[in-house]
Amino acid sequence: MKSISVQSLYKAFKIGKENIAVLKDLTFSVNKGEFLSIMGPSGCGKSTLLYLLGGLDKPTSGQVIVNDKNLGTLKEKEKSLMRKREIGFVFQFYNLVPNLTVEDNIMLPLILDGKKIKDYKSKLDKLLEVTEMAHKRKVTPRELSGGQQQRVAIARALIFEPEIILLDEPIGNLDSKSGNDIMKLFKSINKDFGKTLIQVTHSKDAAQYGTNLLQLKDGEIVSQKAII
Ligand code: ADP
Ligand code: MG
């Protein structure tokens, strides 16, 4: 069963009068339950690819199919629902709201979606436990370390129980100890909760936590293999 399928994906940016091709004819797929690491040097198009997979940007040509739905044929509203409920995002710089508590940051997607927070109380408790942040639930991000802030961002990405989680350099801003702890958390989210994870990274060590590796160079796939 496939989570994501990418066919002949091409992305160019227009800079001045020039069209610069960033992704050139990518074809690959990600199975349900896979933890794919996408590696490549800075500027090779990793973030661009991740945004296309999550429907945050549109390809110049080619297809992205997520859970059997072709993003290119979805209406904006359907795509936005999908981004909210079927895909979780975690970025390098956490993107938390500084004056909201940990709990409120985690529940923010629900609040923005008009959901009743009390229906999600047990899920919130569970996520606080999984991310080991229960003791900090009432504090604001200002009082947290980088690793703790990323844990909050991870809990927030999981609140709608998406099947797919996209990670853009999730430990890029952390020291190696906190980074390894976060990677272990992702590994457990992949193995114990059966989520499909796709991380982009330029770190070989971080990539090793995945089940599969896809290497990009100059916008093209140079290798694709299982990690053993
Ligand atoms: P990576 O994440 O691998 O470091 P990116 O996907 O961010 O690389 O960027 C790949 C290339 O595309 C870079 O040369 C970058 O400058 C260019 N690029 C990315 N986004 C845009 C944009 N919105 N407009 C123009 N150029 C862009
Ligand atoms: Mg990037």
DSSP 72: G
The reported pLDDT for the residue numbered 58 is 95
For residue range 77-122, list pLDDT tens digits in order. 999 989 888 999 999 999 999 999 999 999 999 998 899 999 999 9
> CA–CA separation, 52 vs 35, rounded Å?
18
- Give the residue, 97 or 203, on which the prediction is more confident: 97
Give residue ranges with CB within 6 A of ligand 1. 13, 15, 22, 40, 42-48
Looking at residues 59-88, what average pLDDT do you find?
94
What sign for the dihedral angle of Cα 100, 145, 208, 222? positive
CB 205 within 8 A of CB 39: no
Q: How far is the CA of 137 from the centre of ligand 1 (A)?
A: 36
Q: Which atom of ligand 1 is nearest to the CA of 14?
A: 25
Which residue's CA is minimally distant from atom 5 of ligand 1?
Answer: 45
Across the chain, what does the average pLDDT equal?
95
Q: How far is the CA of 155 from the centre of ligand 1 (A)?
A: 28
